Homo-oligomer: A and B are copies of this chain.
């Protein structure tokens, strides 16, 4: 839970200078709106927000929101986001990126950041394709899918990002769909409020390169799901494995665990951004005598 009293923050306070230049109809617009809604609703001021991204269409996100932005390297948003949060816990840190970014190039960071329970929110724009590089198969492309790089059909079994997050030990695991920005916003609010690593996989249609997993495709399949006991790992795991005609969206799992910073002897008590520089003293050299 946030400790500071809520400010009156308007969604328009998050309006960026640069107009989002995604293709008209791109799923990312929904997430942009949803994130702004959530942040405003939570009364978090733009200067206390950092959005960190990788490389991909989705990763252009920080350019389009009025906050602190860090548009880094393909696959590398999470280490950057983790460190920012550690050194200044007052900040609200959101990592955002694509499925290629997060589940190919960045798999390793995804797994370990989740395991560490770093107190950040990670939202993936999962369009099951490489968008920015114009339509190659991605780690979540379905088996058999024809893409630029798989003219005879994709042969890599797709990653199930929720299962990966769960088995890594993520303490907040959710899924949403760009067709319903309000729902994304609701989940995002809870994710930000959650103390620990929150993961939201968003089905985000790429209207230009993915002609299979369209808005229609998902509208026909997704339904909202709410677990009776969000701490029941086995149920979460089973539900997250569901795929096919019916695909659940919602918060699958949530549990309170110490964060990485809670367990660190220094981070748990010091805000490094605000702490004084350590001044070496003669005594510090005594060990060398």
Q: Which of A47-55, A80-88, A149-157, A269-277 contacts B (4 or more CB under 8 A)?
A: A149-157
Q: Which of A4-12, A163-171, A211-219 contacts B (4 or more CB under 8 A)?
A: A163-171
Q: Specify the chain B residue showing the minimal Cβ separation from A151.
A: B265
Give the copy number.
Answer: 2
Interface string of A89-122 (1 = CB under 8 A from B): 0000000000000001001100110011100000
Q: State whether the Cβ of A245 lies closer than 8 Å to any Cβ in chain B.
A: no
Q: State whether the Cβ of A263 lies closer than 8 Å to any Cβ in chain B.
A: yes
- If over half of A's interface residues share one DSSP class (helix, strand or loop), that class is named, otherwise mixed; here it is helix
Q: State whether the Cβ of A228 lies closer than 8 Å to any Cβ in chain B.
A: no
A250 to chain B: closest CB distance in Å? 20
Q: State whether the Cβ of A17 lies closer than 8 Å to any Cβ in chain B.
A: no
Report the interface size for chain A: residues with CB under 8 A from the other chain: 27
CA–CA, A116 and B156, complex, Å: 6
CA–CA, A157 and B262, complex, Å: 13
Complex A-B: 19 CB contacts under 8 Å = A107-B107, A107-B108, A107-B112, A111-B111, A111-B164, A115-B156, A115-B159, A152-B265, A155-B264, A156-B260, A157-B169, A163-B167, A164-B167, A164-B168, A166-B167, A167-B167, A234-B234, A234-B238, A237-B237
A-B pairs, top 3 by smallest CB distance, nearest first, are: A167-B167, A108-B108, A155-B263
